[in-house]
Every structure is written in structure tokens, then in C-alpha cells.
Structure 1
Amino acid sequence: MRVEEIMTSPIVVTQPGVKIANLKDMFIRKNINAVPVLEEDGTISGVISSSDLVAVHNESLFVRDVMSRNVHIGLKNNRVKDAAKMMVKHGVHHLVIMDDGNVVGMLSSMDIIKVFSEE
């Protein structure tokens, strides 16, 4: 099974200059747990997750102040098993999924669990 078969796509993205209060509202409205942070030119500068947001008590901060700059990337044609190994190795719950240099999806540990629980 390939990542593209179970990843979330299309995805929601954010930018570094978005206020944390606005991002928290978006996470709730769209029922999401992580988003890539993209610069205006489309390059990835980070990832921010709901666990990052829970730790923030000053909602006037910006995404750039809180995001993780250590982005773990998978490819849409990777095997799910390999993506899971990468997540375990790096201790992360989300991978930004790329294809031809573009962000095309997100893969979460929950996406993987859902697939294997349905077998």
C-alpha cells in the first residue's frame, strides 16, 4: 500500500505570520491536528500540530514562534510501512507528503492505524 492511498489530501496549510489564536480556531473548525507552514513562495518552513498549540498560552504569538522547524517529509509513492518506520524513528505523528517538490498531503499516525485496524 502506498502513502497516497491513505494520506489526507487536499490539505490545509498555514503561513508563519498567522496568529496562534486564528490557527487554533481553524484547527477546531476543520477538525485537523497538524498543518505544514508554507512561505509565500511555497517552500516549507515548518509544521505545527495541536500538541504545539496546547502548550501555547499566549495567543498573540505567531505560527513562526511556535512551529517545529524540523520537518519530516515523505513521498506520495512511499510504502505506508516505510512511512510508519520513519515516524517511529523520528518520534513524530505527522509527515508532510511531497510530490515533484510540491506539498500534496499529510500522513498521520492515525491514518496508518485506521488502515490496519480495518484489515
Structure 2
Amino acid sequence: MQAEAIMTAPVIGIEPTASISDAAGLMLSKNIGGLPVIRSDGTLLGIVSEGDFLRRAELGTRRKRSRWLEFLVSPRRAAEEYVQANGRRIEEVMTADVITVSPDASLSEIVELMTRNHVKRIPVVDGGKVVGIVTRSDLLRALLSVLPGSAPAAMDDERIRQNIIAELATQKWAGKDMISVTVDKGVVELSGAIFDERERQAAIVAAENVAGVKAVKDNLFCAEPLSVILVS
């Protein structure tokens, strides 16, 4: 799946000369947390989000430091913070260094960019123009569209068992032949040894995600590493 398949388009944006109040009002009325800042020719200039309005003089939330820390702040940094707290136009408070993707960017690429850069939205740019935006909500909708339905598909028990075993075999946490799987009319029973309680939930999830599974019974035994050493 690519960006163009899930992005929100057309984009709700704002011009760089718009006021802070215009942006705040637009975000509240549209129930969105950020806006691309777009020139009249459609090119991207920056992005403004709720986070850019946290440190405002009007709210009394300007950054405050102890006297000795304030002494260490460079004049450049102090000037930037002053503009952020007192600027009146979007171009004065927006984030100019914007991460973008092309319409054919994969979802894994988008998620990696969001995670690595701690951002919640990424504009989609094609030919220098903003054509859409991908937000966390868009990713959630994409997830919902591919999740299986509530009614499990009918499948032979042995086929279900083999599929679960095959999935466990690909996971480093599962161990080799440590987890036994039996299936009766779509109900899976997991037994055997694990060495960490987190492996229990992982094994249950692995079984639940196999087509045809109706329920999972957990009979796994958590063996502490020390007990294994003593027995051996």
C-alpha cells in the first residue's frame, strides 16, 4: 500500500501570511492538529501544528529557566523563542524544515519517518506541489480496512495447526520445538515451555492471527532460566 492510497486529499492548508488566530480557528473547526503552510502557487513552505502554539506569551506559557541557565542560552536561541511566543503570522511560528514523501512512498517508509522524527503528519508532494497529507488517523483507517472480520473463515484443523507452527518457526522468541500446538474445531491449545511471560502473549497473538482460529487456550508453562539449569 502506498501514500496515495491512504492520504487525505485535497489538503486543508493555510497561507504563510495568515494570522495565528486564523490557523487556530481553522484547526478547531476542522478538528485537525496541524496544517501545511502552502504558498499561493501550491508549493509547501512549512507546517504548523498545535505544538507550535504551546509556548505563547498570551497564555503565560513562555519558556522559563533559572537565571544561570538563561545566561547559557545563545542570543540566536533566545530570539527564536521570542518569535515563537510572540509571532503573529504563521510564517513566523511554523516549522520550516518539513519531512515530505512522494505519492508512491510505502506505508513502512512513512511510519519509519514518523517514528524516527517524532511527527504526526507528513505532507505528500508531487512535482513540487502538495497533493495530500498522511496522518496517524489515515494509518488507523488503513489498518481498519485490512483487519480481518469478526467471523473466522472455516478451515481444516490440521491446516490451522500447520500455519501456526509455521508462524512460530519464523519467530526468534518462540524457541525450537518448545511450543506444542493442537487444534480442535478451530480452538487452539498452546502448551509447552516459555522462558519469559512476554513470550506467552506473543504466542497467543501468533495463533489468533491465523485464519480459521476461533479461540486460543493457554496452557504454556513459564520456566525460569535458573530452574532449567538446575534440572539439567
TM-score normalised to structure 1 length:
0.87
**Range moving further from structure 2, 96-105 or 50-59:** 50-59
2:29 counterpart residue number: 29
**Secondary structure, in 3 states, of the residue corresponding to 2:101?**
strand
Q: Is 1:92 aligned to residue 119 of structure 2?
A: yes
Report what 2:97 is aligned to.
70
Task: Tell me which amino acid in the other structure corresponds to 2:139.
Answer: I
Aligned residues: 119
- 1:56, CA displacement in angstroms? 3.4
Structure 2: which 5+ runs fail to align? 59-85, 148-232
Deviation at 1:102, TM superposition (A): 1.5
Higher radius of gyration, 1 or 2: 2
The letter of the residue matching 1:109 is R
Report the CA distance between 1:106 and its aligned residue.
0.7
Compute the RMSD of aligned alpha carbons.
Answer: 1.9
Amino acid at match of 1:103: V
Aligned-pair identity in percent equals: 25
**Which has the bigger relative contact order, CA under 8 A and spacing at least 6?**
1
Quote how far apart the aligned CAs of 1:82 are: 1.0
Which of the pair is proportionally richer in helix? 2
Tell me if 1:81 matches 2:87: no
Amino acid at match of 2:129: N
Q: Distance in 1 between matches of 2:133 and 2:53?
A: 18
Name the SS for the 1:107 alignment partner: strand
Q: Distance in 1 between matches of 2:41 and 2:30?
A: 24
The aligned runs of 1:19-58 (5 Å cut-off) are: 19-58=19-58
Contact 1:19 1:60 (8 Å CA) reproduced: no
Q: TM-score, normalised by structure 2?
A: 0.47
Deviates more, 1:85-94 or 1:38-47: 38-47
